[in-house]
Chain A
Amino acid sequence: MVILVQFAIGLVFGLGLIVAGMSDPAKVLNFLDLAAISSGGWDASLAFVMVGAIVVTFIGFKLVLRRRQPIFGEHFHLPTATDLNARIVAGPAIFGIGWGLAGFCPGPGLTAALTGGAAAWLFLAAMFAGMAGARFLAARQTMPAPVRTSPPDTRNPTSAGDTP
């Protein structure tokens, strides 16, 4: 049941992208092209998509989060991080460059899978590779450093060779 529900929700999400025109990278790029405001051809649609989505989500989240638990789960999984670290700037900076290169972000990449031909599959394959790379690096970064946390082994002088 919950799986069918998630399929339906994905379908609504995809239809939202299509109705909004955001499944078309040309429309996205024409929003990002601010120089076109003066020269003509600027397409402000993306801003209206954001407004429509945020108004509904803002109100909807408030209503839903009054409940004690989700319908098919025991508790809500809300992000808890609040620190403004380097990753919250570097990640989006990199993401934005990629977004600006082709006009694709992950959602429209997925709606293009069956309609965008080989170009869409190339983007998607590269996107999943990039995701795997970031997850790999992130996992390495957050791994505890056992050499530093364990007390120094004074009986074995060769352990000093661990330091780079």
Chain B
Amino acid sequence: MTATEFTPVAALLGGALIGIAAVALMAATGRIAGISGIAVRLLPPYTEAGLAGRIAFVLGIVVSPLVAALVTGSVPIPRIEAKAPLLALAGLLVGFGAVWGNGCTSGHGVCGLSRLSMRSLVATAVFMATAMATVFLIRHIL
């Protein structure tokens, strides 16, 4: 495992920015800022309008590290520990599960909990539990 530092202030600030984005998207388009929901609707068939806006939103996320690099002078590099087969499996499960459960960490974990949705509370509790169990298995049992 890669050691990381507990950064409560940056975490709160970054979380607040995520919240501002979620509120801004609701104010602008009336939509929940659920990344998996927006991402899956980038794929055909296109049954509803607003594809260009969804592409723009996702592009904004994709280029955000470059903007961060312009401001801070260093590119934020993700430290990816998982090897290729595990990454492929992880991607399949994350994509499938998020769409099957109608949301991911942003849709259920942030927007849903903020709306006091019981479905989102169940979803968040379940994915936190299975994620923690998975990490425990990989790091401490296998």
Interface core residue of A3, A26, A29, A104 (most chain B CB under 10 Å): A29
* Contact call A101/B89, Cβ cutoff below 8 A: yes
> Which 6 residue pairs of A and B lie closest in terms of their CB atoms, listed nearest first?
A91-B101, A10-B60, A20-B14, A52-B15, A14-B64, A56-B19
Q: Is the interface of B mostly helix, strand, loop or mixed?
A: helix
- Chain A residues near B56 (CB-CB < 8 A): 3-4, 6-7, 10
Please report the C-alpha to C-alpha distance between residue A5 and residue B135 in the assembled complex, in whole angstroms. Answer: 38
* Contact call B77/A115, Cβ cutoff below 8 A: yes
Smallest Cβ distance from A99 to chain B, in angstroms?
4
Please report the C-alpha to C-alpha distance between residue A142 and residue B133 in the assembled complex, in whole angstroms. Answer: 31
- Chain A residues near B20 (CB-CB < 8 A): 12, 16, 56, 60
Interface core residue of B86, B127, B129 (most chain A CB under 10 Å): B127
* Contact call A88/B119, Cβ cutoff below 8 A: yes
* Contact call B39/A18, Cβ cutoff below 8 A: no
> Any chain A CB within 8 A of the CB of B73?
no
Smallest Cβ distance from B80 to chain A, in angstroms?
5
Smallest Cβ distance from A137 to chain B, in angstroms?
8
Please report the C-alpha to C-alpha distance between residue A19 and residue B7 in the assembled complex, in whole angstroms. Answer: 10
- Chain A residues near B81 (CB-CB < 8 A): 25-26, 29, 102-103
* Contact call A7/B60, Cβ cutoff below 8 A: yes
B interface, CB within 8 angstroms of A: 1-8, 10-33, 35-36, 39-40, 42-43, 52-54, 56-68, 75-82, 84, 86-106, 108-115, 117-119, 122-124, 126-136, 138-140
**Quick one: given A54-B19, A126-B90, are A131 and B99 in contact (CB under 8 Å)?**
yes
* Contact call A61/B26, Cβ cutoff below 8 A: yes
Q: Which of A35-77 contact B (CB under 8 A)?
A: 35, 41-58, 60-61, 63-65, 67, 69-73, 75-77
Please report the C-alpha to C-alpha distance between residue A162 and residue B39 in the assembled complex, in whole angstroms. Answer: 37
> Any chain B CB within 8 A of the CB of A144?
no
* Contact call B10/A20, Cβ cutoff below 8 A: yes
Number of interface residues of A (CB under 8 A): 118
Please report the C-alpha to C-alpha distance between residue A160 and residue B71 in the assembled complex, in whole angstroms. Answer: 69
- Chain A residues near B57 (CB-CB < 8 A): 6-7, 9-10, 13
* Contact call B78/A120, Cβ cutoff below 8 A: yes
- A–B complex contacts, Cβ < 8 Å, 18 sampled: A13-B61, A14-B67, A16-B17, A24-B79, A29-B81, A33-B135, A35-B136, A57-B19, A76-B26, A95-B94, A95-B127, A100-B131, A100-B138, A101-B89, A102-B87, A104-B80, A110-B35, A134-B95
Please report the C-alpha to C-alpha distance between residue A48 and residue B87 in the assembled complex, in whole angstroms. Answer: 26
Q: Which of A16, A63, A96, A124 contacts B16 (CB 8 A)?
A: A16
* Contact call A96/B23, Cβ cutoff below 8 A: no
Smallest Cβ distance from A146 to chain B, in angstroms?
20
- Chain B residues near A100 (CB-CB < 8 A): 130-135, 138
> Any chain B CB within 8 A of the CB of A119?
yes
